[in-house]
Structure 1
Amino acid sequence: MDELVARLSAEGQTVVVGGPSPSVEELQRRISEMGYVFIKFPTSRGGTDLGVRVDEAATDLGRADFANGTGRAHIEGTLTLNSVRVRCVADIELPSLTGTGHLVVLEEAGAR
């Protein structure tokens, strides 16, 4: 397995909302309108900012109050990292735009 993917697959890692201008408002817009968010793993070498296609069925915003910037958003989505198809799972605390997360390997390169 790819070394970066293996490291980011360990549960309970620190994640932050990434992208060019992270804010509660931008996170909500990206989830609801674009279906694409940036999740950053800051503790990997140099930080790894991933673009994640949001899986609406697996994402849970029931405890997120975007209007007041409080609560927690559970975000899940897919991407390909270093030729490995993965699912990103992240729980983001809205006040700080930080939380915990990890990757789940869906399909390794060459597997068919």
Structure 2
Amino acid sequence: MNELVQRLADGDHPVTVGGPQPTLAELKKRIIEMHYVFIKFTGTRGGTDLGVRVDTDATNISQANFEQGTGNAHIEGTLTLNYVKVRCIADIDLATLKGTGHLVALEEVHA
């Protein structure tokens, strides 16, 4: 398996909301309307910013108050990283847009 995928699948890692506009309003729009978020693993060299297709059934924003910027958002979704299909699981504190996350390897994709 790919070294980066294996490393990010081993335990929880620091993450932040990534992408071109990492704001609370943008995060809300991406979760609820676009179903596509950016999660950045900050503990890698230069950071690893992943585009994640949100799994609306597994994502939980019931503890998130986007208007007040409080609470937590549990985000889950899938992507392909270095030819490995993975599930990204992240818990984001809305006050800081930071949290913890990890990957779960699903299957390797062969070119």
TM range (shorter): over 0.9
Q: Percent identity?
A: 64
Equivalent residue pairs, number: 110
Alpha-carbon distance between aligned partners in 2 of 1:10 and 1:24, rounded to the nearest angstrom: 28
- TM-score scaled by length of structure 2: 0.97
Corresponding position: 1:40 with 2:34: no
Deviation at 1:108, TM superposition (A): 1.6
Q: Which residue of 2 aligns with 1:14?
A: 14
* Secondary structure of residue in 2 paired with 1:30: helix
CA deviation profile, 1:9-48 (whole Å, cap 9, x unmatched): 1222000000011111100000111000000001111110
SS at match of 1:25: helix
Q: Unaligned regions of 5+ residues in structure 2, if any?
A: none
Separation of aligned partners in 1, 2:11 and 2:32 = 26
Tell me how far 1:101 sits from its aligned partner.
Answer: 0.3
- Cα distance per residue 1:22-75 (max 9 Å; x no partner): 111100000111000000001111110000000000000010000100000000
SS in 2 for 1:28: helix
The RMSD of aligned alpha carbons is 0.7
TM alignment of 1:74-85, pairs within 5 A = 74-85=74-85
Q: TM-score, normalised to structure 1's length?
A: 0.96
Please tell me the residue identity of whatever aligns with 2:93: E
Structure-2 separation of matches of 1:13 and 1:27: 20
Match of 2:63 in 1: 63
